[in-house]
């Protein structure tokens, strides 16, 4: 096993980093905090983009593109927003370089200073709402339902591949509405889109919830989120949907004439998911042999590997695999026939396992003689030999469905066994410091003060207040004050 990765149990971080590299997803670049997304990693992102984009279009949104640069003054117009993002902005101050008159290399030309500095967007609310002012005059212009696929930059102090990089790819939806009710409905709709996507495509169970004021997006009235559990029991925020109220409309003077010809401020939402989802995918499903991709998402669902010695065997096996491959393609399955003659079959097995391809089909001369083919599932590692007949592609299709369900089931099982109802602070701390940390459902008195104290003492934060939360009288696990419901605590990425 020359190319094995470290075990999860020994070093979770190292396992994660090595997997990202060995599976061909991404690598560190020479630019601080920025990664190169390699072709296989990008293929996964493209699958995410396509599926989400279709869903956005189905729900009435259109795509547009706004500038990468935001004038510094725009950012300061919404007070909370600027406070949230100011300390992690990359700023463009000059527009020209020149050769160094005192030596080698280039220097920034001091004569080329910008009148107003430009911020590289950490998110696009400000530039978009500045534009919406010109687009919205009447209730007839509403709702305005726009999404943007873009890169953004947040100068994070500590970065991790996919989970937190200085530059990352995402989509950001920015919608404008005539009423608060309609904007809130949009916020919920998009949260549902994300939750569906996480569960049915990524096979990651999520909790839909609302953030506490302390964890809210800078400039939002309410932040909704989906929270997922990773295999180490930590939480990962996988998507957010914000109800922005009239905050940005007021900051950028975006008003519309209603049916009674009265001027009103517009109501707003914004929502996004990022390349962080790739990190979620890795940490939710993968094992010590590499990635495990859910079939619905996988860029390659089935890989076909020929086994042979002689030239004759090679031709015969590959010919048969080509026939099977075209049957699978006809059935709508994404396949790869790995006929690379420079790699041995054993090497290919390990490689495609590392890359998480859900099903591997292997055929050698013996299989060919018996009209059989070896089927190996990535999720369970089980091997089967099936006969090649009319039902072949149907069997594979069904197996893909089964694998999708099983991967989801496994992730859900983990979350269930690592979710705890807790009533004392002692137990609370013990669980987080024990061998199986996870989600803690505990009563909370509703104050930011208590929330911060708990964070300080345990490292856990309130991930969300679940939307379908049952009401239940109790007392705060920390302060002992009365509470009406449990909230979800966990350590988070």
Residues forming contacts to RNA in the complex (CB under 7 A) are: 1-4, 12-14, 17, 22, 28, 31-33, 84, 87-88, 154, 156-160, 163-166, 168, 215, 217-218, 225, 237, 240, 274-276, 289-290, 307-309, 344-347, 349-351, 353-354, 360, 362-368, 374, 376, 381, 383, 455, 459, 492-493
Minimum distance between the CB of residue 484 and RNA, rounded to whole angstroms?
A: 26
Cβ distance to RNA smaller for residue 113 or 383? 383
Instruction: Kindly state the smallest distance separating residue 425's Cβ from RNA, in Å.
Output: 17
C-beta closer to RNA: residue 213 or 480: 213
- Give the residue with the Cβ less far from RNA, 140 or 366: 366
d(CA 218, CA 154): 14
Q: Which is nearer to RNA, 346 or 480 (CB)?
A: 346
Q: Which is nearer to RNA, 50 or 381 (CB)?
A: 381
Least spacing, CB of residue 257 vs RNA, in Å: 34
Cβ neighbours around 32 below 10 Å, total: 9
The Cα–Cα gap between 320 and 199 comes to 36
Residue 139 or 224: the one with the smaller Cβ distance to RNA is 224
Distance CA 230, CA 186 (A): 28
Q: Which H helix or E strand runs over 321?
A: helix 311-330
303 closest CA partner among 368, 354, 367, 349: 349
* Helix-, strand-, coil-residue percentages of the chain, each rounded to 5: 35, 30, 35
By beta-carbon proximity to RNA, the closer residue of 8 and 164 is: 164
- Interatomic CA distance for residues 291 and 16, integer angstroms: 10
Shortest separation between residue 384's beta carbon and RNA, angstroms: 11
DSSP 331: T
Q: Closest CB to RNA among 35 and 136?
A: 35
Question: What burial letters (b/e) apply to 386-415, b meaning 16+ CB within 10 Å?
Answer: bebeeebbeebbebbeebbeebbebbeebb
Give min distance, CB of 295 to RNA, in A: 18
Peptide bond into 492 cis (omega under 30): no
Give the CA angle between residues 443, 430, 408 to the nearest 5°: 75
The DSSP annotation for 379-408 comes to: TT--EEEEE-STTHHHHHHHHHHHHHHHHH
Which residue lies nearer to RNA by CB, 39 or 346?
Answer: 346
Instruction: Output the six-digit token pair for 321.
Output: 């695999």
Q: How far is the CB of 360 from RNA (least distance, A)?
A: 7
Contact 241, 188 (CB under 8 A): yes
Dist. CA 412–CA 480, nearest whole Å? 32
Q: Residue 298 Cβ, how far from RNA at the closest point, in Å?
A: 17
Strands 439-443 and 419-422: parallel
Question: Closest approach of Cβ 472 to RNA, in Å?
Answer: 27
Nearest distance in Å: CB 139, RNA: 31
Pinpoint the alpha helices (H) of 331-465: 345-354, 365-370, 392-417, 425-433, 448-458
In the bound state with RNA, the residue whose beta carbon lies nearer, of 13 and 436, is 13
Toward RNA, which CB reaches closer, 94 or 344?
344
Length of the chain: 493
CB of 124 to RNA, least distance (A): 13
- In whole angstroms, the minimum distance from the beta carbon of 255 to RNA comes to 28
Q: Residue 405 CB, nearest distance to RNA (Å)?
A: 22
Cβ at position 13, least distance to RNA in Å: 4
Distances (CA, A) of 67 to 125, 152, 155: 11, 11, 18
Residue position matching structure tokens 């189905």: 58
Considering only CA atoms, which of 125, 148, 90 is closest in space to residue 218?
A: 125
CB 176 within 8 A of CB 254: yes
Distance CA 75, CA 84 (A): 10
Residue 293 has which token pair? 């991709």
Select 168 or 252, whichever has its Cβ closest to RNA. 168
Residue 155 vs 265, nearer CB to RNA: 155
């Amino acid at each position: 096993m020359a190319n094995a990765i470290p075990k999860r149990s020994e070093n979770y971080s190292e396992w994660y980093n090595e997997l990202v590299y060995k599976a061909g997803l991404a690598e560190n670049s020479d630019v601080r905090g920025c990664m190169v997304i390699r072709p296989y990693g990008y293929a996964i992102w493209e699958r995410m983009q396509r599926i989400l984009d279709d869903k956005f279009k189905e729900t009435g949104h259109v795509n547009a593109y706004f500038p990468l640069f935001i004038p510094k003054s725009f950012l300061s117009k919404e007070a909370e927003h600027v406070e949230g993002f100011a300390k992690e902005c990359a700023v463009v101050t000059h527009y020209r370089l020149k050769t160094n008159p005192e030596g080698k290399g280039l220097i920034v030309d001091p004569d080329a200073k910008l009148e107003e500095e430009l911020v590289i967007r950490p998110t696009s609310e400000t530039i978009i709402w500045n534009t919406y002012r010109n687009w919205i005059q009447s209730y007839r212009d509403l709702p305005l339902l726009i999404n943007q696929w873009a890169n953004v930059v947040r100068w994070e102090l500590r970065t991790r591949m996919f989970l937190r990089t200085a530059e990352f790819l995402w989509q950001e939806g920015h919608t404008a509405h005539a009423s608060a009710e309609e904007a809130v409905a949009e916020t919920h709709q998009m949260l549902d889109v994300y939750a569906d996507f996480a569960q049915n495509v990524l096979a990651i169970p999520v909790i839909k919830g609302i953030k506490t004021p302390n964890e809210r997006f800078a400039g939002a009235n309410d932040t909704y989120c989906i929270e997922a559990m990773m295999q180490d029991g930590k939480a990962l925020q996988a998507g957010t949907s914000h109800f922005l109220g009239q905050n940005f409309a007021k900051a950028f003077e975006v008003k519309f004439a209603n049916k009674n010809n009265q001027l009103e401020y517009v109501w707003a939402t914004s929502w996004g998911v990022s390349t962080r989802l790739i990190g979620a995918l890795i940490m939710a499903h993968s094992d010590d042999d590499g990635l495990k991709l859910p079939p619905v998402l996988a860029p390659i669902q089935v890989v076909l590997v020929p086994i042979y010695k002689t030239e004759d065997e090679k031709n015969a096996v590959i010919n048969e695999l080509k026939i099977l491959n075209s049957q699978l393609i006809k059935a709508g399955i994404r396949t790869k026939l790995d006929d690379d003659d420079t790699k041995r079959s054993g090497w290919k097995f390990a490689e495609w396992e590392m890359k998480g391809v859900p099903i591997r089909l292997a055929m050698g001369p013996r299989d060919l003689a018996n009209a059989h083919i070896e089927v190996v599932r990535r999720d369970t590692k089980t091997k089967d030999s099936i006969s090649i007949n009319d039902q072949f592609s149907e069997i594979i299709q069904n197996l893909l469905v089964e694998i999708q369900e099983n991967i989801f089931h496994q992730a859900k099982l983990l979350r269930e066994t690592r979710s705890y109802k807790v009533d004392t602070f002692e137990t609370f701390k013990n669980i987080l410091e024990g061998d199986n940390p996870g989600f803690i459902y505990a009563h909370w008195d509703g104050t930011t003060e208590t929330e911060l104290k708990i964070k300080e003492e345990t490292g856990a934060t309130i991930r969300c207040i679940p939307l379908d939360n049952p009401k239940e009288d109790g007392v705060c696990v920390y302060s002992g004050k009365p509470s009406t419901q449990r909230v979800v605590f966990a350590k988070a990425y």
